[in-house]
């Protein structure tokens, strides 16, 4: 290309030479210097202004995307593998306290594990806020440091349960909270078409590690002691730090809130941390309220299944039903994650179905008359448990979009901490009163059914996007059958996506050179093709196909 016609990348259009067309050719397309007069000037016409907060389309694949998925898989597996295998540590702590004559050995040992799971979910909103402020990678890195440090410090205080409340319970739990939410949020940066399946694979990490770690941890505690086992768990927890290095965000952080007159200082301060746009979405509010309601009875079978088997089927393995739930839960996350990515599949309806079946199967537990039937129910419960868990991330992205998904997941997990903590103790109190699990399991099946019913309200409301109402387009364009918050996240205000020029901007580019943009010479495709062929014939230097294609686009 000659010096009067060059392509400027990013936000500047090709250089336009001031002047009219010569011999039927656009001055920009004239390879020689004949069209350049003495007063000729080069004019750079800006294209679309780059938007620092524009949402980018996820790549849906690539080496880094799959590495991010593997990192999130390991992160989920390590965190919940440690949390879910606390029963091994519990037995060791309980025996240690009983040996010193502590009359509250069981409750004190159990409180360490309860603090861990409670802190993980309760502080998830903090993780969502921190992610929006300092980024996914730094939040996960801090979480990894806390989990590793908490477990390492626990190895020096194994004889002090009070110290373990802080190191193992609060410190490790806070680190798990900071690392878990970003591990789900980062997936939406790299996947959209396969988001359901990828979420299924990542959340299945907890099932895989939960199946492997109890045997390994039990061997370590028996042969090396609790202190050495904690140090090995600290090394395993350090994998979270390395996973954080893979979390390179592709989406920009949410834009800062607009300062409006009349707002109090407290209001402005809260808006700088909390994404209030999520709470303006009626669909998210309904979803975020329905899930905790359903979870009041969701966790009861997991906690009380062993005692139920011991009372009703004493000659069979009391841990086998829970193992069946864990195995099919991992399988369900993969199956329903794949189904959720199919076209025209309603993910919210799929999650409702899982709650209905979980609630129904829970209510059927007291009526089981044989152990094989109980195992069948446990396998089915695990399958639909995997469905519920694998859809949390994709539904958050569908409702709140990439900008709001992180805090949407964080606040949802924080709201779930209360019912997950209260449900099993209430069922235990009912068992102590009645001496049977018939009433506790029947009542535990009602909240999932009620939560699934309230989720139907999501179909009855519509979230208005005021930004979308201001978009004015003169050219007709095809619209998808349904919009998600992801599709509406980046309003174009009449501008094309992916940097394409509209007719108005093409005409403005030509008009800046003094050319009639409505000339038939420029609008008729056949004439434009002749001009292009003549130009290429006269200018052999113009050889690259990409440049010819760009030139034709201008015409």
Tens digit of each residue's pLDDT (9 = 90 or more) over 189-218: 898 888 888 988 998 888 888 888 888 888
Rounded to whole angstroms, the Cα distance separating 120 from 370 reads 37
Q: Quote the mean pLDDT of the chain.
A: 76
Residue 551 three-state SS: helix
Q: Which two tokens stand for residue 79?
A: 């965190």
Answering whether pTM is above 0.75, one says no
How large is the average pLDDT for residues 290-312?
85
State the alpha helices, DSSP H only, in 100-192: 105-122, 124-134, 136-154, 161-164, 172-185, 187-190
Rounded to whole angstroms, the Cα distance separating 451 from 293 reads 5
Q: Quick one: pLDDT at residue 454? A: 93
Rounded to whole angstroms, the Cα distance separating 510 from 454 reads 57
Least confident of 97-101, 131-135, 226-230: 97-101
pLDDT at 67 over 90: yes
Least confident of 181-190, 446-455, 544-553: 544-553
Q: Which of 339, 337, 288, 297 is nearest to 457 (CA)?
A: 288
Q: Quick one: pLDDT at residue 533? A: 53
> Which residues does residue 25 pair with via DSSP β-bridges, in sequence order?
22
Q: Quick one: pLDDT at residue 469? A: 37
Sign, CA dihedral 364-365-369-373, equals: positive
Burial class (CB in 10 A: 0-12, 13-18, 19+), 367: exposed
Torsion angle, alpha carbons of 293, 294, 300, 303, to 10: -90
Q: Which of 435, 446, 495, 490 is nearest to 468 (CA)?
A: 490
Rounded to whole angstroms, the Cα distance separating 426 from 82 reads 25
| CA atoms within 13 A of residue 433's CA, in its CB half-sphere | 9
- What does DSSP say about strands 42-43 and 16-17: parallel, antiparallel, or unpaired? antiparallel
> Which residues does residue 46 pair with via DSSP β-bridges, in sequence order?
12
Q: How confident is the model at residue 524 (pLDDT cuts 50, 70, 90)?
A: very low
Rounded to whole angstroms, the Cα distance separating 321 from 308 reads 10
Residue 43 three-state SS: strand
Torsion angle, alpha carbons of 72, 73, 75, 77, to 10: 160
Q: Quick one: pLDDT at residue 527? A: 43
How large is the average pLDDT for residues 279-291?
92
Torsion angle, alpha carbons of 9, 12, 18, 22, to 10: 50
Q: Report how far apart, in Å, the C-alpha atoms of 230 and of each of 80, 108, 292 are.
A: 15, 19, 33
Q: How confident is the model at residue 464 (pLDDT cuts 50, 70, 90)?
A: low
Rounded to a whole number of angstroms, the CA Rg of the chain reads 30
- Whether 102 and 170 have beta carbons less than 8 Å apart is answered as no
Q: Quick one: pLDDT at residue 81? A: 87
pLDDT at 492 over 50: no
How large is the average pLDDT for residues 352-366?
92
Q: Quick one: pLDDT at residue 40? A: 46
Q: Quick one: pLDDT at residue 433? A: 86
Rounded to whole angstroms, the Cα distance separating 265 from 254 reads 20
Most confident listed range (38-52, 319-333, 363-377): 363-377
Q: Quick one: pLDDT at residue 511? A: 54
Q: Quick one: pLDDT at residue 493? A: 46
pLDDT at 271 over 90: no
Tens digit of each residue's pLDDT (9 = 90 or more) over 110-133: 788 878 888 888 888 988 888 888
- The residues, ordered by sequence, that sit 6+ positions from 346 with a Cβ below 8 Å of its Cβ are none
Complete domains list, the chain, with CATH? 58-249 (1.20.1250.20), 274-462 (1.20.1250.20)
201 vs 320 pLDDT, higher one: 201
Q: Packing angle between helix 392-434 and helix 195-237, nearest 10 degrees?
A: 70
Q: Quick one: pLDDT at residue 507? A: 54
| End-to-end alpha carbon distance in the chain | 17
Q: How confident is the model at residue 504 (pLDDT cuts 50, 70, 90)?
A: low
- The residues, ordered by sequence, that sit 6+ positions from 393 with a Cβ below 8 Å of its Cβ are 184, 185, 187, 188, 195, 199, 405, 409
pLDDT at 541 over 60: no
Rounded to whole angstroms, the Cα distance separating 210 from 286 reads 32
Q: How confident is the model at residue 356 (pLDDT cuts 50, 70, 90)?
A: very high
Instruction: Give residue for tokens 């979420």.
Output: 199
Least confident of 8-22, 363-377, 417-431: 8-22
Rounded to whole angstroms, the Cα distance separating 1 from 53 reads 35
Q: How confident is the model at residue 432 (pLDDT cuts 50, 70, 90)?
A: confident
- Whether 396 and 408 have beta carbons less than 8 Å apart is answered as yes
Q: Which two tokens stand for residue 129?
A: 């806020």
Q: Quick one: pLDDT at residue 516? A: 52
Residue 46 three-state SS: strand
262 vs 147 pLDDT, higher one: 147
């Amino acid at each position: 290309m000659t010096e009067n016609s060059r392509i400027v990348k990013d936000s500047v259009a090709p250089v336009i030479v001031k002047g009219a067309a010569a011999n039927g050719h656009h001055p920009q397309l004239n390879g020689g210097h004949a069209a350049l007069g003495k007063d000729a000037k080069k004019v750079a016409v800006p294209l679309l202004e780059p938007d620092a907060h524009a949402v980018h389309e996820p790549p849906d694949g690539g080496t880094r995307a799959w590495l991010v998925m593997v990192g999130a898989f390991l992160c989920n597996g390590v965190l919940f593998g440690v949390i879910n295998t606390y029963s091994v540590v519990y037995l060791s702590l309980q025996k240690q306290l009983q040996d010193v004559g502590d009359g509250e050995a069981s409750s004190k040992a159990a409180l360490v594990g309860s603090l861990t799971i409670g802190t993980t979910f309760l502080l998830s909103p903090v993780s969502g806020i921190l992610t929006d402020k300092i980024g996914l990678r730094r939040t996960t890195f801090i979480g990894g440091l806390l989990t590793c440090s908490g477990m390492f410090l626990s190895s020096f205080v194994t004889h002090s349960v009070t110290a373990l409340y802080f190191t193992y319970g609060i410190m490790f739990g806070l680190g798990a909270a900071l690392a878990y939410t970003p591990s789900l949020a980062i997936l939406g940066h790299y996947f959209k078409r396969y988001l359901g399946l990828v979420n299924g694979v990542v959340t299945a990490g907890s099932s895989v590690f939960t199946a492997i770690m109890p045997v390994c941890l039990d061997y370590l505690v028996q042969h090396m002691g609790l202190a050495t086992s904690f140090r090995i768990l600290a090394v395993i927890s350090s994998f979270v730090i390395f996973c954080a290095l893979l979390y390179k965000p592709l989406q920009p952080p949410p834009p800062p809130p607009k300062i409006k007159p009349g707002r109090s200082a407290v209001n402005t301060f809260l808006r700088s941390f909390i994404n209030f746009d999520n709470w303006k979405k009626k669909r998210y509010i309904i979803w975020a309220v329905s899930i905790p309601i359903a979870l009041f009875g969701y966790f009861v079978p997991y906690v009380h299944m062993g005692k139920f088997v011991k009372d009703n089927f004493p000659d069979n393995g009391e841990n086998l039903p829970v193992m069946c739930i864990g195995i099919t839960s991992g399988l369900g996350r993969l199956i329903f994650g794949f189904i959720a990515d199919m076209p025209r599949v309603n993910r919210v309806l799929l999650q409702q179905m899982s709650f209905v079946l979980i609630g129904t199967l829970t209510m059927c537990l007291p009526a089981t008359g044989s152990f094989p039937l109980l195992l069948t129910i446990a396998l089915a419960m695990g399958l639909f448990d995997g469905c519920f868990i694998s859809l949390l991330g994709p539904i958050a992205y569908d409702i709140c979009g990439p900008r709001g998904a992180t805090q949407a997941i964080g606040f949802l997990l924080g709201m779930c901490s209360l019912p997950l903590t209260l449900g099993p103790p209430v069922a235990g109190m009912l068992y102590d009163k009645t001496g049977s699990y018939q009433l506790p399991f029947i009542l535990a099946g009602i909240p999932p059914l009620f939560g699934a019913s309230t989720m139907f309200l999501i179909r009855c409301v519509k979230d208005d996007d005021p930004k979308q109402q201001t978009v004015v387009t003169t050219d007709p364009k095809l619209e998808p059958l349904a919009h998600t918050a992801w599709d509406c996240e980046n309003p174009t205000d009449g501008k094309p996506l992916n940097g394409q020029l509209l007719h108005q901007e093409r005409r403005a580019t030509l008009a800046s050179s003094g050319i009639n943009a409505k000339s038939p010479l420029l609008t008729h495709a056949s004439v434009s093709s002749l001009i292009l062929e003549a130009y290429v014939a006269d200018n052999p230097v113009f050889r690259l196909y990409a440049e010819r294609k760009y030139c034709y686009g201008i015409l």
